[in-house]
Amino acid sequence: MQSLMDMLQAELVAGNTLGHFAGFAVAIFFTLLAARVTQWVFDVQLKKLTARSETKVDDIIVETLARPAQLVVTLFGAQLSLQVLALPEWANQFITNTTTVAASVLGAYTAVRLVDAIHETLILPWVEASDTRLDDQIVPIVLRACKVTIWVMATLITFSNLGYDIVSLLTGLGIGGLAVAMAAQDTLANVFGSVTIFADRPFQIGDLVEIAGNRGVVEEVGLRTSRLRTIEGALITVPNREMAAQSVTNFSTSGRWRYAASIGLVYDTPAAELRRAIDALIEIIQAHPATEDGGARFMEFGDSALGISFAYFITDPSAGRYLDAIGDINLTIKERFDAEGWDMAFPSQTVYIAGPVQVSMAPEAAPPSADVPAR
């Protein structure tokens, strides 16, 4: 027995005896055993309990926390196991700091995964089932804000556990944040613009709108910018401050996309033919299967044409169908007008001269005087 004790107390490396290494091995064994028990508790026992409940929240929590809980047990068990060894102070401090940072990152990552799981399982089906599209705009922003908040809190907690003065750090960040805010006025204006958009709701995701001369389908409304997909397929990014400050034309207020245009006939067109042209436009629009609530009217005596305005709603709110319907109707209008002999006007100007034209001619030069010699 004495020889065994002497063997365990014999120094091997850097002040560590065989007993230290044996204790470290035993601690690692119990750490792995505790991790396996934790996994069994989550995968078997807790899942049995959650299966009896009607809500899905507990199932999501258990499913999300199972793997991180096992990693937490392994992490802190490894830290306790290393404390069995005779290590220098700097090594113990390094292990403690590393464990703190790893635990904070793991906690933040787990919280983000939990938020994503709740969003995909509970919130997203509710958003898809709702009639309004306002939640489609707000939910992604709230989700992103929650994730940013989680990581910021995890960072502050980590610095606090590492021994830093959080109050002084936040004070310094506040002074620096004031300078950053002064330099980021445009960004703040865009953020307030997004708040205005959510409050006024001039449009929703999927609406066909025209803003600052840009017409397209709203794909995304973020904190700083909004994105429009044009009919041609291009993606336009518009700052939210411009979206909130300028007028917005929404062509999808009734769930349909509106199209309006005009045609000019020459002034030689008789009134009866002008009336027939208007009736033909209404007939063409109403006959198309993708349109409804269409009409045409004689609206103005233009500078060079008799202006007929027409408009209609396209019932299929998609960019491709929208363009197809417009192209079909325009081609049909051209074919009908050509067949009827209705001439479309183009910008021109006619000058009428009233009365006879008088042309003045310069008098002939007088011959040189005899008294004055010609030069």
- Is 279 part of any domain? yes
Of how many residues is the chain composed? Answer: 375
Pair 117, 217 in one domain: no
Looking at the structure, tell me whether residues 156 and 227 fall in a common domain.
no
- The one-letter code for the residue type at 331 is L
Claim to verify: residue 148 and residue 280 sit in the same structural domain: no
Q: Are residues 197 and 231 in the same domain?
A: yes
Verify that 200 and 296 share a domain, yes or no.
no
- Domain end point (choices 225, 250, 275): 250
- CA angle 263–267–273, rounded 5-degree value: 70
pLDDT at 366 over 60: no
- Please indicate, yes or no, whether residues 41 and 105 belong to a single structural domain of this protein: yes
Q: What is the pLDDT of residues 334-346, one digit of tens each?
A: 999 999 989 888 7
**At 276, is the pLDDT very low, low, confident or very high (cuts 50, 70, 90)?**
very high
The torsion defined by the Cα of 225, 229, 230 and 234, in degrees rounded to 10, comes to 90
Confidence label for 150 from pLDDT (cuts 50, 70 and 90): confident
The CATH number of whichever domain residue 193 belongs to comes to 2.30.30.60
- Mapped onto helix, strand or coil, the DSSP state of residue 19 is helix
- pLDDT value of residue 265: 92
Where residue 126 falls among pLDDT bands split at 50, 70, 90? confident
Has residue 364 got a pLDDT over 60? no
pLDDT grade for 271, boundaries at 50, 70 and 90: very high
Q: Could you write out the DSSP letters of every residue in 235-269?
A: EEEEEHHHHHHS-EEES-TTSSEEEEEEEEE-TTS
Range of the domain at 270: 257-340
State the pLDDT at residue 132.
Answer: 59
Are the beta carbons of 115 and 146 closer than 8 angstroms? yes
Report yes or no on 363 lying in a domain.
no
Query: What's the confidence (pLDDT) of residue 334?
Result: 93
Whether residues 202 and 284 share a domain: the answer is no
- Give the residue, 213 or 78, on which the prediction is more confident: 78
pLDDT of residue 352: 65
- Indicate whether 246 and 262 sit together in one domain: no
Q: Which among 285, 280, 291 is positioned nearest to 344, based on CA atoms?
A: 280
Contact partners, residue 190, CB within 8 Å, separation at least 6: 223, 224, 225, 239, 240, 241
- The yes-or-no verdict on residue 370 having pLDDT over 50 is no
Reading the block at residue 272, the tokens are: 């009866």
3-class DSSP state for residue 314?
Answer: strand
155-177 residue pLDDT tens: 888 887 777 776 666 665 555 55
Residues 73, 38: contact at Cβ < 8 Å?
yes
329 has pLDDT over 80? yes
Q: Which of 222-226, 342-346, 347-351 has the highest mean pLDDT?
A: 342-346
Which residue in 313, 145, 119 sits closest to 222, CA to CA? Answer: 145
Rounded to the nearest integer, the mean pLDDT of the chain is 77
Query: Are 112 and 135 found together in one domain?
Result: yes
Q: Which of 9-18, 25-34, 188-197 has the lowest mean pLDDT?
A: 9-18
Q: Is residue 348 part of a domain?
A: no
> Whole-model pTM?
0.47
Higher pLDDT, 1 or 190: 190
